[in-house]
Amino acid sequence: MHIVFFEVQDWERNSLLKIFPDALITAEKLTIENALHYTEAEVVSCFIYSKIDKAVIEMLPQLKYITTRSTGFDHIDVTFAGTKGIKTSNVPEYGSTTVAEHTFALMLSLTRKMYQSVNQAKTLSFEHSEIRGVDLEGKTLGIVGLGKIGQHVLQIAKGFGMNVLAYNHSQDKELLDRYTFSYAELDVVFSNSDIITLHLPFNEHTKHIVNKEAILKFKKGSYLINTARGGLIDSEAIVIGLEKEILDGVGLDVLEEEKDLSEEIAMLTSEFRQNIDLKNLIYNHILMNHPKVLITPHNAFNSKEALKRILETTISNIQNYASDTPTNLVGA
C-alpha cells in the first residue's frame, strides 16, 4: 500500500516510521492546493486540519482508506468518501483515564492544600493550622456527565470510599449494578455534593450549566472541578461562590475564555498555538491569583500513555484495513 501520513508531529514520526518504513511522512496538511502531489496515495492518515472534502477526494484516484488521528472526523466528507468505496476510521477515544486522573490530581491538590503546603515548606515554616486538609473518604462527589471520562471518575471515586451522586441525560442500569451510586437531578447534585466535577460536552444546552443562580445552590464549603469545557461555567459564578464562601476551592483545567476546541490533542500542534495565546489567557484570567483557585493549562489530556494510544489505534486501524478487517469505522 502507498501510505501517506499528513500533519505528523515530532512525537509521532519515529513510531510511525518504525511500523511503516516505506510510508511518506509529512508535517503539511492535505489540502486542495497540494492534493495533486499525492495522487498515488491509497491510504491517508491525517489530523483535523486536513480538510478532506469532495474536491480533495476526487483528486486522489487511488485512495481507498482514510484514518484520522483524532476522535472527531468533521474535517472529512465521510459520506462522499463512502460513495467512492473509501472507508474512514478514527481514534474513538484516547484520554478517558488520563483526564479522570487529572481530575483527581486537582481534587487532591485542593482538598489537601498541596500547593500551600509545598510553598510553606520552602520557607521552612511548619505551622500546620493553615494547611489542614479534608479527607475524600466519606465525602459526596457529584459527577455531572457520565460518559467515558465520568465513568472513570466514578471508578476512582469508589476506590477512595466516596459516595457518588451523578447527573446524566440517561441512566445506565449496568453501571448502577457495577458501582454503588445514585442518579439525581442537577439541583440535587449541586446542593448535596461536597465536590462537584464536570464531564459534559459543550453545547447550547450545557453552556453555563454552572451559572450565578446555580452556584447559590451549592453546598457551603464545597469544591468545584472542571476538566471538560470552559464554557460550562460562568466565571462570574465562581467569583460569587468564592466571595460568599460557598466554594472552598476551585480546580480548572479549562477556562471560559478559551476558543472552541473539539480535539484536545490539537493543542500540541503549531497550528493551534498560532491561533490562541494560552499564556496571556491564563495570565490575565480574573481567578489566576486567587488563593483558593488552581488553574492548569488545559493539560488533563496530555500524558505519554494518551499519545501512545493515538498512535497504537492509528497503526492498528491501518493494519486491520490491510487485513480486510477494518476497525473503528465512522460515517455511512
Q: What is the predicted pLDDT for the residue at 282?
A: 61
**What is the pLDDT at residue 203?**
87
Q: Catalytic annotation on 258? A: yes
Name the helix (H) or strand (E) containing 315. helix 304-322
Angle at 306 between CA 302 and CA 307, to 5 degrees: 85
Q: What is the pLDDT of residue 260?
A: 62
DSSP letters, 286-298, are TTTT-TTEEE--S
Q: What's the farthest any 2 CA atoms get from each other in the chain? A: 72
Instruction: State yes or no: is 127 an active-site residue.
Output: no
Question: CA–CA separation, 313 vs 90, rounded Å?
Answer: 8
Alpha helices (H) along 39-92:
54-58, 78-83
How long a stretch of residues is the chain? 332
Q: Using CA atoms, how far apart are residues 296 and 288, in angstroms rounded to an integer?
A: 10
Distance between CA atoms of residues 57 and 52, nearest Å: 6
Catalytic residue among 229, 256, 263, 309: 229
Inter-residue contact 143 to 149 (CB < 8 Å): no
pLDDT at 36: 96
Q: Answer yes or no: 298 catalytic.
A: yes
Cell of 8: 505528523
Contact 178, 154 (CB under 8 A): no
| pLDDT in single tens digits along all 332 residues of the chain | 999 999 999 889 999 999 999 999 999 999 999 999 999 999 999 998 999 999 999 999 999 999 999 998 989 999 999 999 999 999 999 999 999 999 999 999 999 988 877 777 777 777 777 778 899 999 999 999 999 999 999 999 999 999 999 999 999 999 999 999 999 999 999 999 999 999 998 889 999 999 999 999 999 999 999 999 988 999 899 999 999 999 999 999 998 867 666 666 766 677 766 666 665 566 557 788 899 999 998 899 889 999 999 999 999 999 999 999 999 999 85
List all residues 6 or more positions away from 260 whose beta carbon is below 8 Å from its beta carbon: 202
Q: Are 64 and 87 in contact (CB under 8 A)?
A: yes
Marked catalytic residue, from 75, 102, 152, 298: 298
Catalytic: which of 112, 258, 285, 290? 258
pLDDT at position 269, please?
Answer: 75
**d(Cα 37, Cα 208) in Å, to the nearest integer?**
46
What's the pLDDT at 2?
Answer: 97
